[in-house]
Homo-oligomer: A and B are copies of this chain.
Amino acid sequence: MAPRWKGKAAEAKAVADPMSKILSRLQSSLIKSNSEGLLSGSSVLLSVHPEQNELLNYACFGRPIITAEKDIQWFQLSLEEAFYLCTVMKCIKIVGGNKCIKNEEELWDYMSSKKSNFPFLCKAYCHLRTKNWVVRAGSQYGVDFVAYRHHPALVHSEYAVLVLSEKEGNGNGRLSVWSDFHCTLRLCGSVAKTLLVLYIDKNGEGDFSPSCLEHYCVEERLVTRWNAERSREIQSCNSST
């Protein structure tokens, strides 16, 4: 399925300013200002300057929180977003209630304690983000994430992403019965998204430290209807499904 741009101008705008460049600008800006996120339950609060506000919005991290403060904008980041900005992009630090900066291990422990499948969701999130996909929560479609080619204002999300793992069968128990499979595929079809299943294989590694993430293996499977037309000899031989 081709990306569904929100108009020709949107596509041109995205091509002119690719997500990788936006992320670089965001990274430099956050590093320069020594940005610190504050652990708060199952999210991380980050205060930023107006310029960074725009960059965070454009790069689609977190959601802005309305406060009475004038020059500071607060953002609520999900655990995966915060972990990514902190440990992969290395552009923010994260502090706990005691104002001490948490190291990777401490963050990992805290986040895994808040969300039992955090290691898998985090791996999947980082996997897609490093490929410059914009990743947002997928709960409205009953999946873990949705992935956009660029900012949601410019393009519709292309993939509905389910993260499965070998843990306890398949992690969250999704797609283990046909009716669930049918339901998910039908819904994806009706909202014009392709179902992307990311199987996270721990390769025998435990959940004990963030360094395990590197050893986790991600297997990507697209689930689509098979189109018999595609195998006809008249069509290009390369367009196999």
Query: Could you tell me which A residues sit within 8 Å of B by CB distance?
Result: 138-144, 162, 172-174, 176-187, 190-191
Q: How far apart are the CA atoms of A179 and B177 in the complex, in Å? A: 14
Would you call A179 and B143 a contact (CB within 8 A)?
yes
Q: How far apart are the CA atoms of A179 and B182 in the complex, in Å? A: 14
CB distance from A184 to the nearest CB of B (A): 5
What is the interface of chain A mostly: helix, strand, loop, or mixed?
A: helix
CB distance from A116 to the nearest CB of B (A): 11
Name the residue on B nearest A171 (C-beta): B177
29 CB-based A-B contacts, threshold 8 Å: A139-B178, A139-B179, A139-B182, A140-B182, A140-B186, A141-B182, A141-B186, A142-B180, A142-B181, A142-B182, A142-B183, A142-B185, A142-B186, A142-B187, A143-B179, A144-B179, A162-B179, A172-B177, A172-B179, A173-B173, A173-B177, A174-B177, A174-B179, A180-B180, A180-B183, A183-B183, A186-B187, A187-B187, A187-B190
The residues of B that contact A185 with a CB separation of less than 8 Å are 142
Name the residue on B nearest A163 (C-beta): B179
Name the residue on B nearest A179 (C-beta): B142
The residues of B that contact A180 with a CB separation of less than 8 Å are 142, 173-174, 180, 183
CB distance from A121 to the nearest CB of B (A): 11
CB distance from A188 to the nearest CB of B (A): 9
Q: How far apart are the CA atoms of A180 and B174 in the complex, in Å? A: 7
Name the residue on B nearest A141 (C-beta): B186
Name the residue on B nearest A183 (C-beta): B142
Q: How far apart are the CA atoms of A140 and B190 in the complex, in Å? A: 12
Name the residue on B nearest A176 (C-beta): B173
Q: How far apart are the CA atoms of A173 and B179 in the complex, in Å? A: 10
The residues of B that contact A138 with a CB separation of less than 8 Å are 179
Q: How far apart are the CA atoms of A5 and B186 in the complex, in Å? A: 24
Would you call B177 and A183 a contact (CB within 8 A)?
no
CB distance from A137 to the nearest CB of B (A): 10
The residues of B that contact A186 with a CB separation of less than 8 Å are 140-142, 187
